Structure 1
Amino acid sequence: MAQTMMRKIVMSGACVVLGITRRSSSRCLVTSSNNVTMKKKDRVLPEEEEITKSVFMSQSTDIYTNLALEDWMYRNMDFTNHHVMMVWRNEPSVVIGRHQNPWLEANISHLTEKDISLARRNSGGGTVYHDRGNLNITFFTPRERYDRKYNLELIKRALFRGFGIKSVINKRDDIVVRDNYKISGTAAKLGRLTAYHHCTLLVNANKADLSKALAKREHGIQTKATESTRSAVANLADIDHKVTVDSLQTAVGYEYLRTPALHLEDGGQGLIMKQRGFQFVNPTDNWFPGLAELKQELQSWDWCFGRTPVFTVSRTFPVPAEILAPSKVYTATQELVINMTVEKGLIDDVTLSIPPGLIESGFHGEASVITHLKGKRFTSEALNALQDAMLTRHLNSDVKKLDEKDQFVAKCFDQVVNTI
């Protein structure tokens, strides 16, 4: 029988009692995979009593590193006889689903200002906010043994066993408390051989920061991208102050280890002793060869923004009276209309509908100016290109800055590309 021991480990300045663990190497567990070469038709799934479990604890708090680790395990590990629950947490970040539009889901200008990371994960589902007050959990199994209800019921049991908190799993597979306050959302990725289901639990997240990061803005976006469903949320610490990220991690971890792999039953301490226990994992290339490359892809602009499904933007802006032709009186509101099509995060087409009052005051929106926007990122890069084109238009004159009409149009473009 493998030796066991009680371990006290210092992590992020806090002393965390992890409990009983086995003397086994996490590094050996993650580098001995043959999942890539195995064929589904050749695989014989073991009986429940032959399956062991581990709780992996990521030592990183970087969102891109943890998403890369999740993806690495999904691609490389064999979970046929060994199921894994990974727990992880991140510095402030917004995580969108694989098929979502970041400009629609998040307050991009606020994220940039506050240096909050935006990441696109490989699974579907909606947008979530992470900070150190969240506990993120990923359940890895063979594809045939993917069971979202089992995982959510396990968390529900852990909340009640550990803290006496009663919760409900709703039709959307959210975990809710106290009259439908959401504490956990859920998403999954199912492959040919492997599947994972992950969720985030709100423990003591900064709800003010969450609200600002996910604030809905006037954007004028039309898209077929998956849109998030907004819900009222609650922190578990508001329900019971004894709930911390560390105590919840321990409670869910032990619930996972004491529960048989395929059905919800309490196996108690005897089953815990047969498992592989809690293990820290170090998400680096030394432990997971190729992890850095996965991380680099996940944090690239082309992935986070460029993978956005095609969308159109239409915004209307009233033209200030002071920049209209002074000798004219207009019975209708003079409005500038900007329409764009954005594909792979790049402006594919743009049109300006210029009201008569702005034309008569001297602004014509020359085609040469507008064409400079094609192929530019749907960011301030487009605004800079517009301003440069407007100045270039006056190259043979003494104009060194934009006039008030150009400034107005540039301001409108700024509001479009920054969705404010």
Structure 2
Amino acid sequence: MAQTMMKKIASSACVVIGITRRTSSRSLVTGSKALTAKKEQELPAEREVTKSVFMSQSTDIYTNLALEDWMYRNMDFSKHHVMMVWRNEPCVVIGRHQNPWLESNVPLLTEKDIALARRNSGGGTVYHDRGNLNVTFFTPRERYDRKYNLELIKRALFRGFGVKAVINERQDIIVRDKYKVSGTAAKLGRLSAYHHCTLLVDANKTDLSKALAKRETNATASTPSPVANLTEVNNRVTVDALQTALGYEYMRTPAVTLQDGGQDMISKQRGFQFVNPSEDWFPGLSEIRNELQSWDWCYGRTPVFTVSRSFPVPEELLAPSKLYSATQELSINMKVEKGLISDVTLNIAPGLIESGFHGEASVITHLIGKRFTSEALAALQDAMLTRRDSGERKLDDREQFVAKCFDQVVNTV
């Protein structure tokens, strides 16, 4: 199987070195046992290491993340360092341990058909579209050097476009003293490592802002930074031009030291290579992609969080001919574990109880175990309808108010 893939790559002028032989696609997904079982060897001298720039032909976020993971698990980077460049259709990408409901406007993403993905690395949440250039640097674990990679990007921006950038203490790339154009994250294994970042070239900042809108929970959110597109600094910067400039900067630089080897160094490298992230080229890729796209991975890996909201009850829903000394509010508290509602507390205003709504426990318990999505709202509405003896299939005004409050808890920021 690995031999078939190697022939495919070679016939497309894309040479991949050090791919571990496998016997089935399952072994690709269950972990690089053969790779991690290899006896660690002394790394070669810098002059013996060659470089390639892989250009992914996919614009699907799950496919590109799967390709990253496949290469990390299955390739030997000891003598061959790789920089992969890739782009995506609009999507939001969260870090491995982040909360999608806290970091993004999940209802908007659903409405606009914007993908949400959870990557295997840490770091913060980012928005991608075709105006972003994403870059991944693959090396052996011992030669992982985030500073080296960021300096390469910084040099490419200046050499290619005259854009002056700095690397701040958080290892973001900053232009004009305060505007962030690149965030960064990494994954380090026993033998291999990768560092990836996204460069804002001409992204839709309005969609970025809306997609990354925050909601209030008890969890800790990412710290937002003012952002800018590189086109705002120099309108000659395009994604294609930056990809080329960065690729040549990568190949003109030795594998470890930040020296300028010029054209002579470029001529010793393996060049730019188009990569087709498909099952035919990378056996087992589809299984990795399916896992990365699953609800259990994107949402079910979310740490425990709670949401609390209070809503003033409209006067017309309160008991008539009664005066209340305090604002009448309906309070909803939810605990969410692995993306599922594990506990719900409903505090009902006295005026709403006196007007006839009691919020029986049987109704609320229907929410337990439901996804923290519109699925929970549907379960609530169904429970309120089925508890009746009359068979009436329409919510009354008080029930509609309660359902609307639950909808705002689940589906608004």
Q: TM-score range by the shorter chain?
A: over 0.9
Partner SS for 2:34 = coil
Is the partner of 1:60 in helix, strand or coil?
coil
Decide whether the 8 Å contact of 1:348 with 1:374 is kept in 2.
Answer: yes
Which letter does structure 2 place at the counterpart of 1:411? K
Using the TM superposition, give the Cα deviation of residue 229 of structure 1 relative to its aligned residue in structure 2, in angstroms: 1.4
Equivalent position SS for 1:26: coil
Aligned to 2:111: 113
% identical equivalent positions: 76
Match 1:413 to one of 403, 406, 413: 406
- 2:213 matched residue in structure 1: 215
Tell me how far apart the structure 2 counterparts of residues 307 and 99 of structure 1 sit (CA, whole Å).
7
Q: Of the candidates 5, 14, 17, which is equivalent to residue 26 of structure 1?
A: 14
Give the partner amino acid of 2:410. V
- Per-residue CA deviation, residues 399-420 of structure 1 (Å, 9 max, x unaligned), is 2200111000100000011134
Aligned AA (1:26) = C
Deviation at 1:390, TM superposition (A): 0.1
What TM-score, normalized by structure 2, do the two folds share?
0.93
Distance 1:33 1:244, change over 3 A: farther
Runs of 4+ in 1 over 6 A off after TM superposition: none
Deviations 1:116-161 (A, max 9, x none): 1111111011010000000000000011111000000010000001
Shift of 1:220: 3.4
The offset of 1:336, in angstroms, is 0.7
Q: SS in structure 2 opposite 1:85?
A: strand
Q: Is the 8 A contact 2:133 2:198 kept in 1?
A: yes
- 8 Å Cα contact 1:30/1:73 also seen in 2: no
| Amino acid paired to 1:79 | F
1:259-278 equivalences in 2 (<5 Å): 259-278=253-272
**AA matched with 1:223:** A
Report what 1:397 is aligned to.
390
Aligned CA distance change for structure 1 residues 72 and 257 (closer, same or farther; 3 Å): same
Aligned pair partner of 2:58 in 53, 57, 60: 60
Asked if the contact 2:121–2:185 (Cα under 8 Å) also holds between the matched residues in 1, the reply is yes
2:28 corresponding residue in structure 1: none
**Structure 1, gaps ≥5 residues long:** 1-21
Displacement of 1:348 after TM fit?
0.4
CA pair 33-230 structure 1, distance change in 2 beyond 3 A: farther
Write out per-residue CA displacement over residues 46-102 of structure 1, whole angstroms, 9 at most, x where no aligned residue.
110011100000000000100000011111111011100000000000101111111
Deviation at 1:319, TM superposition (A): 0.8
Query: Which residue is equivalent to 2:322?
Result: 328
Computed over aligned residues only, the root mean square deviation of the Cα atoms, in angstroms, reads: 1.6
- Out of 216, 219, 236, the position equivalent to 1:242 is 236
Is 1:371 aligned with 2:359?
no
Pick the aligned partner of 2:188 from 182, 187, 190. Answer: 190
> Do the aligned partners of 1:100 and 1:309 also contact (CA within 8 Å) in 2?
yes
Change in CA separation of 1:137 and 1:93 when aligned onto 2, cut-off 3 Å: same
| One-letter amino acid of the structure 2 residue matched with residue 400 of structure 1 | R
Aligned to 1:18: none
What residue identity is the alignment partner of 2:218? Q
2:295 maps to what in 1?
Answer: 301
Count, aligned residues: 394
Q: Provide the rounded CA distance (Å) in 2 between the counterparts of 1:365 and 1:167.
A: 58
**C-alpha offsets along residues 183-217 of structure 1, whole Å, 9 cap, x if unaligned?**
0000001111111000000001111111111123x
Pairing 1:92-103 to 2, within 5 Å after superposition: 92-103=90-101
Contact 2:102 2:219 in 1 (8 A): no
Residue 199 of structure 2 aligns to a residue whose secondary structure is strand
Secondary structure of 1:222's aligned partner:
coil
In the TM superposition, residue 357 of structure 1 has moved relative to its aligned partner by: 0.6
Per the TM alignment, residue 26 of structure 1 is displaced from its structure 2 partner at its CA by 2.7
Describe the SS at the equivalent of 1:312.
Answer: strand
- Contact persistence 2:102–2:216 (CA under 8 A): no
Say if 1:189 and 1:196, in contact at 8 Å, map to a contact too: yes
Structure 2, unmatched stretches of 5+, are: 1-9, 23-31
Paired amino acid for 1:289: P
Asked whether the equivalents of residues 33 and 78 of structure 1 are also in contact (C-alpha less than 8 Å), the reply is no
Tell me, yes or no, if the aligned pair for 2:95 and 2:123 is still in contact at 8 Å. Answer: yes
2:25 paired residue number: none
SS in structure 2 opposite 1:338? strand
Amino acid at match of 2:330: L
In structure 2, what is the equivalent of residue 17 of structure 1? Answer: none
Contact 1:33 1:77 (8 Å CA) reproduced: no
Question: Which of the residues 187, 196, 199 maps onto 2:197?
Answer: 199
Equivalent position SS for 2:52: strand
| 1:353 is the counterpart of 2:347 | yes
TM-score, reference length from structure 1 = 0.91
Contact 2:19 2:76 in 1 (8 A): no
